[in-house]
């Protein structure tokens, strides 16, 4: 009798533990969007950065070697690559964060932070590559509605 009750309780527990009663919509509130951009690399050395200091970004963050950070051209900010946005970069491991913004003259461009390793940055050079960045799900549907109205 006791074994039957225990088996019943175990089955009961596991059948309901897989249910998520709190979350009716399991859709993530964010999605990953894709862009092809021009990419180069930069370092936290005074001759490459602006007047704020070699380790201070335009948004006031402090850069340290080893930090996975990028700078974005200002037109990309309007596309959703705002401060601290998570970004995956084709050919790189891990997730980078938008920590800096570039001069107004640059368009559709990112700079990948490479600490103080100037040789590594020069070796990377310039290339076109894809980036994947996280945006709120409703911003995608709002953009699609706007594009459909303009078509």
Q: Which tens digits make up the pLDDT trace of 122-146?
A: 999 999 999 999 988 876 555 544 4
**pLDDT by residue (tens digit) across 10-63?**
555 555 445 454 555 567 788 999 999 999 999 987 666 655 567 888 898 999
pLDDT, tens digit, for every residue of 67-90? 999 999 999 999 999 999 999 999
Q: Which domains does the chain show, CATH number per domain?
A: 30-136 (2.40.40.10)
- The answer to whether residue 93 scores a pLDDT higher than 70 is yes
Three-state DSSP class for residue 97:
strand
Report residue 19 CA to chain centroid gap.
31
What is the rounded distance in angstroms from the CA atom of residue 104 to the CA atom of residue 73?
Answer: 7
For residue 65, how far is the Cα from the chain centroid?
19
Return the H-helix or E-strand segment holding 12.
Answer: helix 2-17
**pTM assigned to the model:** 0.71
CA distance 57 to 60: 5
Whether residue 151 is predicted with pLDDT greater than 50 in this model: the reply is: no
CA distance 22 to 125: 49
CA Rg value for the chain: 23
Q: Which residues contact 29 (CB under 8 A, 6 or more apart)?
A: 136, 137
């Amino acid at each position: 009798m006791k074994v039957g009750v225990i088996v019943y309780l175990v089955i009961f527990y596991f059948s309901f533990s897989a249910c998520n009663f709190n979350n009716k919509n399991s859709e993530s509130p964010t999605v990953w969007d894709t862009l092809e951009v021009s990419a180069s690399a930069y370092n936290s050395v005074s001759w490459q950065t602006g007047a704020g200091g070699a380790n201070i970004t335009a948004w006031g963050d402090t850069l340290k070697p080893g930090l996975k950070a990028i700078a974005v051209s200002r037109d990309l900010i309007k596309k959703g690559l705002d401060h601290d946005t998570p970004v995956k970069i084709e050919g790189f491991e891990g997730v980078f964060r938008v920590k800096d913004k570039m001069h107004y003259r640059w368009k559709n461009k990112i700079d990948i932070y490479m600490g103080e390793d100037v040789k590594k940055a020069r070796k990377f050079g310039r290339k076109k590559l894809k980036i994947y960045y996280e945006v709120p799900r409703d911003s995608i549907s709002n953009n699609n509605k706007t594009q459909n109205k303009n078509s």
